[in-house]
């Protein structure tokens, strides 16, 4: 892979192993993985330094009820509390700045949307069937039920759809959709790298 240029974004269903897969990819490629630390970087950019990580995440994830009509993030006025709007915009700015500095991997945070007008990024959506997710919920996610995993996914979908105006998980919004139930995660990571290599070779 041309590691001098490529930035990878990973969005995922809860329980599909997307975080683990992103970590494996980062290790194989020798690049940094950015996830929750983006929240703290965005908060620092806004001058917020007196909130806990839980409070920052709650502020970041604040979304109005589903009955509200979508308003693009760049058009927000009184439709949404300024703290959640500013946090989203600050995170997006941090993502774009980090992406300019070199190859890395972003997990979640609408990074695919934040980088939509930039070159040399590859967007992945990680999903899995219910049986696989239910198994991982019990074994990896502290015994969470499939219903609990689905509840978390609904929150992610609301957040993504509200801020981007796009449908979370829609294959048309990503370069690659991966079903992690089909193979071990290290093999999937190798396949992703090989696929990106093939795309880059075609461009060259």
pTM: 0.78
| % of residues, the chain, pLDDT over 70 | 73
Mean pLDDT of the region 169-177: 94
Under 8 Å between Cβ of 133 and 15: yes
The span from the CA of 45 to the CA of 56, in Å, is 13
Mean pLDDT of the region 158-172: 91
Average pLDDT over the chain reads 79
Mean pLDDT of the region 161-170: 91
User: What is the per-residue pLDDT for 120?
Assistant: 85
∠ CA 39-43-44, rounded to 5°? 120
Q: How far, CA to CA in Å, does 146 sit from each of 75, 130, 149, 179?
A: 36, 7, 5, 17
Residue-wise pLDDT for 106-163, tens only, equals 998 889 999 999 888 999 999 999 999 999 999 988 889 999 999 989 988 998 998 8
User: What is the per-residue pLDDT for 41?
Assistant: 58
Mean pLDDT of the region 15-31: 94
Under 8 Å between Cβ of 17 and 70: no
Under 8 Å between Cβ of 105 and 33: yes
User: What is the per-residue pLDDT for 159?
Assistant: 86
- 83 pLDDT band, cuts 50/70/90, is low
Give all strands (DSSP E) within 56-159, no chain letters: 104-107, 121-127
Mean pLDDT of the region 16-26: 94
């Amino acid at each position: 892979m041309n590691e001098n240029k490529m930035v990878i974004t990973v969005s995922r269903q809860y329980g599909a192993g997307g975080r683990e897969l992103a970590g494996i990819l980062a290790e194989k490629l020798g690049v940094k993985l950015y996830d929750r630390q983006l929240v703290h970087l965005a908060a620092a950019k806004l001058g917020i330094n007196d909130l806990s990580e839980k409070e920052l995440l709650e502020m970041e994830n604040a979304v109005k009820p589903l009955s509200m009509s979508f308003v693009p993030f760049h058009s927000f006025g009184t439709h949404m509390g300024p703290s959640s709007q500013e946090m989203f915009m600050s995170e997006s700015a941090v993502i774009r700045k980090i992406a300019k500095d070199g190859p890395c991997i972003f997990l979640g945070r609408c990074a695919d949307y934040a980088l939509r007008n930039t070159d040399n990024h590859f967007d992945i959506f990680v999903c899995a069937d219910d049986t696989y997710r239910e198994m991982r919920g019990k074994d990896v996610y502290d015994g969470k039920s499939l219903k609990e995993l689905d509840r978390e996914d609904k929150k992610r979908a609301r957040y993504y759809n509200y801020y981007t105006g796009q449908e979370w998980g829609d294959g048309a919004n990503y370069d690659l959709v991966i079903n992690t139930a089909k193979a071990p995660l290290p093999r999937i990571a190798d396949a992703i790298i090989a696929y990106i290599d093939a795309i880059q070779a075609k461009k060259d």
